[in-house]
Amino acid sequence: RCGCFQIKRSHEMGSLGGHVLPGSFFIFYGCWWVFISFWLQLTTSKSRKACSSSHTNSSISYAHFKRDIQLGRLTYIPQPFCIHIPFEPLLKIILSFIGVMVETFLSAGDGKIVAQAYVIYEEDGSFRSLSKLQHITMYSGFLLSGVVDLIGLVLRLPKNTTKLFFCLAFLVEGILFMFHADGRGDLNHRLHILLTYAIFSGVIFSGLRMLQTGNILINSGLGFSIILQGTWFIQVGVTLFGEQPWNEDDHKNISFIIACFTWHISSIMVTMFIFYIFLMACIRGSVKYRSKVRKRGIRFSWPILNNNQDNGEKDQLIEVEKEMEDLTRKITKETVT
């Protein structure tokens, strides 16, 4: 078909699923980075003073993370729950391993997904389409970064070693996709060039984290770049391998896709800004609530950070707090009498 769309397209160069899978991985991983970066910023002592100057020793502080886990030596920011479990390294390893397995043993063609092991060579000895190989290499870079993160928790590696491997994962991905669309249509090439912009922004932010680990702009910027990679991966898949693939030779499509990239950037930034305000309001509300409870003489603790307590202990704590509240009321009445 002429114009904006063309009906028929070979699946040798890739598939919609081959782009949605890594896109979903990056979106989920980027959202995690944004959340954990904002939480770090809003629960440090400096930020808590703006929320409540009279309660600088709030248990929602990240100070104990910095002391006990040495935030500066880690690639990742420890989560505010189950702090003894390396959630992010395990997340990188599991999702990357799934990606490698899917690309290696599943194949998409003619609208179907079949179990078929990936083979690099054709029967005549020539190379097959290497899109799958490049995707496997991309996943392997992040898998390696997750493994090094776990090793860094056991062994004392040189400073910034884990951060260097994380930066290397983005660098490998950027190099792969910089040349991923060589010899293809103009639209295909432009889509992947825009993808490399998002990837190399991740290289820059992950590299800057070697200098300043706790900087909110650097950490949230890294989360932004990861989400942008994810949304653009899906955009590439829908554009090239959707139900109605776009005509790669139409210059109007190329102009539109550039504008679409800026819409992705703006949408992600606005969403992050709204989420930051929402999270700040939740934390401020929590601090004010805890302040009111303390004024009544009740000992209050944040359940999400009490990782050493099981459900039974938490129930006992609630009962103790109720008893303390009743006791405080009795003492107050006797004093008045």
- 62 Cα distance to chain centroid: 19
Whether 26 contacts 212, CB under 8 Å: no
| Whole-angstrom distance, CA of residue 116 vs CA of residue 114 | 6
Do 32 and 91 meet the contact criterion of CB atoms below 8 Å apart? yes
Residue 104 has a pLDDT of: 84
113, β-bridge pairs: 108
Q: How far apart are CA 240 and CA 193, in angstroms?
A: 14
Do residues 191 and 181 lie in contact, with contact meaning Cβ atoms separated by under 8 Å? yes
Residue 271 pLDDT: 96
Query: For residue 60, what pLDDT is reported?
Result: 39
**Most confidently modeled range among 179-188, 287-296, 328-337:** 179-188
Q: pTM for the complete prediction?
A: 0.74
Kindly indicate the confidence band of residue 232, based on its pLDDT and cuts at 50, 70 and 90.
very high
Identify whether the C-beta of residue 299 lies closer than 8 Å to the C-beta of residue 268.
Answer: no
The Cα diameter of the chain in Å comes to 100
State the average pLDDT over residues 235-255: 85
Look-up of token digits 């899917």: 102
Residue type, 171: L
Q: What is the DSSP string of 274-318?
A: HHHHHHHHHHHHHHHHHHHHHHTT-----GGG-TT--HHHHHHHH
Helices marked H in 155-185 — which ranges? 161-178
Write the DSSP string, 51-100. H-TT-TT-TT-SHHHHHHH-GGG-SSPPPSSSTTS-HHHHHHHHHHHHHH
pLDDT tens by residue, 149-173? 999 888 888 888 889 999 999 999 9
Amino acid occupying residue 115: A
